[in-house]
Chains A and B, each alone.
Chain A
C-alpha cells in the first residue's frame, strides 16, 4: 500500500505523462486505443483524488513538497501541493467529469492522431494541479496550462465561428493571466513569499497596505475573468457557442467553477487577514454575484441558440456560486463546494444533450428543432429532469448547494441576494424546460420561416454514433446529480471546516449559519410557469403577452447590444471592472 502522501502529485503528473506518451505513439495507435487510455487515465485520477480526499478528511491537510524542498524555519523556497478534503473532492469530481466526457466523445474526433485526447489530458492535468497547489506562482502556471489547452480545444474545428470565438476567449483570458502575474509580483514585492501559508501569515501581520490590496484586486479580477463574473463574463458565451460539445461539458462543468474555487482559497486563506480584502469580498463580490445571477438568467432566457442559452445559464449559476464565496461563512463555503459538483453534473449532462441534438438532428436552434425531438425519448426525459434540477427542484446535490448558499447569503446581506438566486434558478430552469417542450413535444408557436435562419456554428458531427453511447454518460451524470442532497451537504460542511490551513475558521472570523429548512420549491414552480407562459403564447390573450413584450423588449435589445462580440469592448469592460474595485475600495 502506497502511503497517501506519495499519491499527492499523481493527479497532475499522471495525465501529463500519459499525454506525452500518447503524443509520441499517436501514429501507431489503433483507432479506439486513445479513447480507452484517456478514459482510464481520467478514472484513475478520480480514484486517486478520492483516496486523497478520504485520507485528508481524517488526518488534515496533506502537504507534499516537490523535490524534497521542505521549508526551513522562516524560509519557504519549495513549491508544495496542499491537499485538503475540499480540494481533493473537487479534483475527484473533475476526473469523473472528464471520464464521462471522453465516453461521450467516443469516436467523435476520428481524423487526427489523438490530438483531442492529448489536449484533454493536458487540460485535466492542469485543472488537477490548479486545485491542489498551495503556491501562488504554481497556481499561475496551472492557470496558464489550463487556458492554453482550453484555447486550442475551442478552436478545434478551425471553422470561422470557432476561430473567432476562440480568439475572443484567448485575448481576454491572456489578459487575465497577465493581471494575475502582476498581482503575484506585487504581493511578492511586499512579503517575499509565494506559499499560501507563508503569504497568509505575512498578510495578517502587515495590516492595511495599498500594495497588498492592489495585488488582491488583480488576482481576484483575473480569477473572475476565468469564472465569467459580470462585467468580465463576455468571452464565455462566445466560446461556449462555438466549442465542440464535449469541450463545453468541461468548460461549463468544471473549468469556470474552479476559478471561483481558487478565489475562495485566496479569500479564506491567503488574504483572510486583510480587512480591506474581506470588505471587498463581502460587500462588492456579493453584489456582483447577485448581478451576475440576474443578468445571466435574463440573457439565457432570451436565447434560441441552445448552447448559448446554456452558456448564459452557466454565467447565472456562477453568480450564485460567487455569492457563496462572498458570504465568507463556512455555510457559504460548503455551499460553493456542493454547488460546483451539482451544477457541473447537471450542466455537463445538458451540454451532452445539446450535443446529441446536434449529432442526430443537425441543428442547435430551438425554433428550427421544434418537434424534431420525437424519437429521442430518453433525451427528452433527461432534459426535463436536468431543467427541473437547474430550476431548483428539491432533489439532489444542486439543490443542497443552492440551499446552503441561500442560507449563507441571507445571513450575510439579507434577502436581496437570496431573491436573485431564486430568480436565476427559475429563469434558467424555465429556459431549459421551454426548449424541452418545444423540441420534444412540438409545443409553442410555429417559427416564422423568415426568421428561422439563425447563425450557428458549422459543427459537423458523425450522425452514426449510436444514441445509447451518447446517452449513457449523460444519464450517469444525472443519476449522480440525484444522489441524496443531505449527504452532499454534510460532506460539504465537513470539507469547509477543514478548508485551507487548520485553525482557519476562527482566524477569519467565520460564523456558521443555520441551514434553511424551507425547500425552495418556489423557484421550480416559477420555472415551470415561465416555460408554460412562453410555450402557450398563441393561446393566451394577445394583450397579456404584448404587454410583457413591450416591457421586456427594450431590456433584451439593450442587453443584446452590450454583448457585442467585439473583443475590444470586452477588454474595455474588464478595465471598467478593475476601476470599479478601486472605486469601491476608495469610497467603501
Chain B
C-alpha cells in the first residue's frame, strides 16, 4: 500500500484543525470541520483499497476474485451520513445565532466567560 493516502489524510486533518483553531467565523469553522472529516474518508478508503481488486459485487465474478474491502466502504457511507447530520445541525444552529446577533465571530460570541468568584 502506498504511503501517500496516509500523508494526505494526516494533512487534511491538520489543516482542518488549524482552520478551526484560527477561525473567526462559524460558517468557516464548520467548513474546516468538514475538511477534518474528509481526512477520515481518505484514510478509510485507502485502508480498504486493493491494487487490481474489483468492485465488491460478486454477482458476475468467479469466487476468489480479489476485490476491494467492502467493510470500509460501508464505514465510509455511515460516516458520510453522520457528517451530513452534524453539518446540517451545526448550520441550523448558526442560522439561529445569526438571527439573534449580528456577528458569527466565535471570539465575540463567548458563552458565560465572565467568572464570578463566590
Contacts and interface: CB of A to CB of B under 8 A. Distances in A.
B96 A163 contact: yes
Contact of A189 (B40, B47, B107): B47
A185 B116 contact: no
Contacts of A457: 112
A365 B40 CA distance: 43
A55 interface: no
A510 interface: no
B47 A185 contact: yes
B39 to A, nearest CB: 7
Interface in A152-183: 152, 155, 158-161, 163-168, 170-171, 174-175, 177-178, 181-182
Contacts of B114: 454-455
Contact of A155 (B44, B93, B115): B93
Given A170-B89, A178-B36, A302-B118, A184 B75 contact: yes
Contacts of B113: 455, 563-565
Interface string B93-115: 11011001100001101111111
Contacts of A367: 116, 118
B78 A163 contact: no
Main SS class of interface, B: helix
Nearest to B10: A182
Contact of A185 (B33, B75, B100, B111): B75
A181 B29 contact: no
Contacts, number: 145
B37 interface: yes
Interface residues of B, number: 45
A283 interface: no
A304 B26 contact: no
Nearest to B90: A170
Given A151-B89, A167-B97, A188-B47, A560 B115 contact: yes
Choose among A148, A164, A167, A572 the residue with the greatest number of B CB atoms under 10 Å from its CB: A167
A451 B110 CA distance: 20
22 contacts: A137-B78, A144-B85, A148-B86, A155-B93, A160-B97, A163-B93, A163-B97, A164-B111, A165-B112, A170-B93, A174-B86, A175-B36, A178-B40, A181-B75, A185-B44, A185-B75, A241-B112, A302-B117, A454-B114, A568-B29, A568-B106, A571-B17
Given A160-B97, A178-B37, A185-B75, 14 more contacts: A148-B89, A151-B86, A152-B89, A160-B101, A171-B29, A241-B111, A241-B112, A302-B117, A305-B116, A367-B118, A454-B116, A455-B112, A563-B115, A568-B29
Interface of A: 137, 141, 144, 148, 151-152, 155, 158-161, 163-168, 170-171, 174-175, 177-178, 181-182, 184-186, 188-189, 194, 238, 241-242, 302-305, 308, 365-367, 451, 454-457, 534, 556, 560, 563-569, 571-572, 575
Interface of B: 9, 13, 17, 20-23, 26, 29, 33, 36-37, 39-40, 43-44, 47, 71-72, 75, 78-79, 82, 85-86, 89-90, 93-94, 96-97, 100-101, 106-107, 109-118
